[in-house]
Amino acid sequence: MNALIRNFLVLTVGLMLGVSLAIGRSGLAERSEAPGPLPLDDLRVFTEVFEKIKNDYVEARTDKDLIESAISGMLTNLDPHSAYLNEEAFTELQVGTTGQFGGLGIEISMEDGFVKVVAPIDDTPAQRAGMQAGDLIIRLNEKSVKGMTLTEAVKIMRGDVGTSIELTVVREGAEKPIKFNITRAIIRVKSVKFRTLDKGYGYIRITQFQSRTGDSLAKAISKLKNENKTLKGIVLDLRNNPGGVLNAAVRVSDAFIDKGLIVYTEGRTEDSDNKFHATPGDLLKGAPIVVLINGGSASASEIVAGALQDHKRAVIMGTRSFGKGSVQTILPMNNGTAVKLTTARYFTPNGRSIQAEGIVPDIETERLSVSNADKPALDRIKEADLSGHLENGNGKKKTADKEKTDKEDKKNLASEDYQLYEALNLLKGINIMHTRMGR
């Protein structure tokens, strides 16, 4: 065995032991089964390939580059969410979790060698440009993404504020690729938005699960209660929410559930097995909830939707969610790099795995464009329009202006967001039935 192979074997074994030690220091329990002997024959093949690349490849590559590429390949071949983060990528990840950074505003993953849009973030350049969940990015500034790592793609998409980038995407149903020219901006992610939809009915949108999302949700509900004498129900909008912090998803679920299991995780180590339970108290005191989800609802969003569905606390409406039911743990290394490793799977309270299945809505409602099909040449004549008509015998009279305003509000909501319009109608229907049943 020549010196290069012998030294590289020592290096490889040391690297493997170093990763093992780093995992231990990062809080993961050691594997329950005893580790087997090192696969020396396989390592010899590995070092032979390393030597041939170093000596014969058309362009010179440093040992550091080759080793990092080998580690990266080892992780990216595990699943789409495991990755090796060099110092630059690790720094980028830490910047991205602060809630403010320069970029386009999309959550992405890798699929079949292309960059897949999990969801565009609300009020960002990508969302305003018209990018949608499920879009496959095939080119970045005319450079094919085939063969790129997710980290490399992110590095190209991020840049100085005010600069632009052209994204070419393939979209299901589109006849040809679509090009988007998007100008980078500071991305400020506001986790919770809310408003009153109709008297007594609130709307809460969670764009991303951050550390303070639970507190923001509680404040939103409090303000909606102040705006409405009685809060009869809410629509919780989790569409295009790519997920975020697990504890935030637990707190949001706990806000509406009095007791029981919210979510649990299972992995190969003891530290990967966790159960999260609800605490007493329901901020809505049993008022109905309709949760909106779609193909861009992932991870933490699916935890909330699954918990509320299993506890029969909400009606889930929309389309099947993304299906990211795996847990990633960031394991810092001693040299300033890190490993993002999938360590567990999520399960709903009833034991359903979210992974690659997603949450199936109780009521499937597609994203549709709605227009008014009833456009008569002349307005229909009603009894109230006839000259000398009798007044209502109950002495009640609804003004024409109020009637017109109500119709316009409903028409606008239906045309702007048909799924939300249907969710509001469902909430009203639930309340009507509860009232008639004396609840």
Q: In DSSP terms, which residues pair with 116 in a beta bridge? A: 109, 136
Here the tokens at position 134 are: 């499920």
Over residues 255-267, the pLDDT tens digits come to 999 999 999 999 9
Q: Is residue 407 a contact partner of residue 400, using CB atoms and an 8 Å limit? A: no
Residue tagged active-site, from 301, 310, 326, 417 = 310
Q: What is the mean pLDDT of each run of 10 residues along the chain (439 residues)?
A: 45 40 33 66 93 95 93 92 88 61 84 87 92 94 89 86 94 94 89 95 95 95 95 97 93 98 95 96 97 96 98 98 94 93 96 96 86 56 73 64 56 86 95 83
Q: Is residue 113 a contact partner of residue 147, using CB atoms and an 8 Å limit? A: yes
Over residues 26-70, the pLDDT tens digits come to 333 334 455 678 888 999 999 999 999 999 999 999 999 999 999
C-alpha–C-alpha distance, residues 108 and 116, integer Å: 5
DSSP annotation of 393 reads T
Task: Tell me whether residue 324 is one of the annotated catalytic residues.
Answer: yes
pTM (predicted TM-score): 0.78
Task: Tell me whether residue 299 is one of the annotated catalytic residues.
Answer: yes
Residue tagged active-site, from 82, 253, 297, 299 = 299
Residues 6+ apart with CB under 8 A from 202: 194, 195, 196, 220, 221, 224, 227, 228, 231, 233, 234, 235
Q: Is residue 359 a contact partner of residue 319, using CB atoms and an 8 Å limit? A: no
Look at the chain and count its residues: 439
Residue tagged active-site, from 116, 232, 324, 340 = 324
Among 162, 154, 117, 119, residue whose Cα is nearest residue 136: 117
Question: What are the chain's domains?
Answer: 3-89 (no CATH), 100-188 (2.30.42.10), 192-364 (3.90.226.10)
Task: Tell me whether residue 123 is one of the annotated catalytic residues.
Answer: no
Residues 6+ apart with CB under 8 A from 357: 323, 325
* Largest interatomic CA distance in the chain: 109
Phi, then psi, of 339 in degrees rounded to 5: -115, 125
| End-to-end CA separation in angstroms for the chain | 81
Strands (E), 212-352: 233-237, 261-267, 274-277, 289-293, 315-318, 326-332, 338-347
CA dihedral (194, 197, 202, 205) positive or negative: negative
